[in-house]
Amino acid sequence: MTAPVQSLLFADPREAADLAAFLGRLLHYDRGAAVRLQASGGALAVFGRPPSFEVLAVRAVRLDGSHDLDVTVSAGELLESLDTEGPSAGTGGLPAPVTGPPWTGVLPPRGGWHEAPPGTLPGPLDLRAALTAAVTEFRRRDEALPEERRTRAERDLIGREIWSRTVGDTELPLRAVHAAQALGFLRAAPDFSVALLTAGTWLRLRTPFGSIAVRRAGAGGGLGGLAVSVGG
């Protein structure tokens, strides 16, 4: 492992632990995952792309002191550097930069986000119910496939059709909600709320624990150019 080249001190040790959990989930989907880090003032935004979901995930944490940082590093090395227990809890090291995948080159806009009108996005309980129904449907349709059609390609077609469906009265694809659940952003917690924000061709599902950003259908370029605001 490359030795860290800069130390990180978090404003709250619990946020270092939350970041470690987020990195661990990213690595579950991609053992070679890279993350782009952007710090401005006392806020650090960590951007990752779990390949199974075709979305951009963002986890924001607070740092102790003011920082100016923009670098892509190994998610695994960053995770290894974090100290989440004991007298050094809430500290970490910044690994040496790596050449990131194409999505790290451009991020959604920092500003210009507008919240969708109330009632267009279902609440947390309804979102979880929609996920449960989607998973149940996928399993049912998968089990109904004849043996000769039970291939990865056929299953991918089913999954793409289900997860591309939009949520409520929005353009947000269900896969964004699925990613939020898988990455620990859609939790059962007191006063938990979700919001949908828009900026140009971008949609952003925001929760207290992180955000999921995705391009609108038909925007072109897939994730293409990806800067979500440093806020969670």
pLDDT at 138: 95
pLDDT at 182: 94
pLDDT band at 221 (very low <50, low <70, confident <90, very high): very low
Largest CA-CA distance found in the chain, in angstroms, rounded = 60
pLDDT reading at 228 higher than 70: no
pLDDT reading at 5 higher than 80: no
160-199 confidence digits (pLDDT tens)? 999 999 999 999 999 999 999 999 999 877 778 899 999 9
pLDDT at 198: 96
pTM, two decimal places: 0.86
Amino acid (1-letter code) at residue 190: P
- CA 154, CA 220: separation in Å to the nearest integer? 24
- CA 18, CA 84: separation in Å to the nearest integer? 9
> Mean of the pLDDT values across residues 47-64?
93
Report the residue count for the chain: 232
pLDDT at 204: 97
Q: Find the DSSP H helices in the chain.
A: 13-29, 75-81, 124-143, 152-163, 174-182
pLDDT band at 126 (very low <50, low <70, confident <90, very high): very high
pLDDT at 65: 86
11 with 62: CB under 8 angstroms? yes
Compare 227 and 42 and report the one with higher pLDDT: 42
What's the CA dihedral at 194, 36, 75, 89 to 10 degrees? -70
Q: How many CB atoms lie within 10 A of CB 101?
A: 15
Compare 40 and 139 and report the one with higher pLDDT: 139
pLDDT reading at 224 higher than 80: no
CATH 3.10.150 applies to domain 6-105: yes
22-39 confidence digits (pLDDT tens)? 999 999 999 999 999 999
Best CA proximity match to 44, nearest among 65, 27, 23: 65
135-159 confidence digits (pLDDT tens)? 999 999 999 999 889 899 999 999 9
pLDDT at 220: 52
CATH 3.10.150 domain span(s) along the chain: 6-105
- CA 204, CA 115: separation in Å to the nearest integer? 9
| Alpha-carbon 42 to chain mean position | 21
67 Cβ contact partners less than 8 Å away, ≥ 6 residues apart: 39, 40, 41, 42, 44
pLDDT reading at 2 higher than 60: no
pLDDT at 67: 84
pLDDT band at 230 (very low <50, low <70, confident <90, very high): very low
What's the CA dihedral at 155, 159, 48, 60 to 10 degrees? -150
194 Cβ contact partners less than 8 Å away, ≥ 6 residues apart: 121, 123, 124, 127, 186, 205, 206, 207
58-95 confidence digits (pLDDT tens)? 999 999 988 889 999 999 999 999 999 888 889 999 99
Amino acid (1-letter code) at residue 52: S
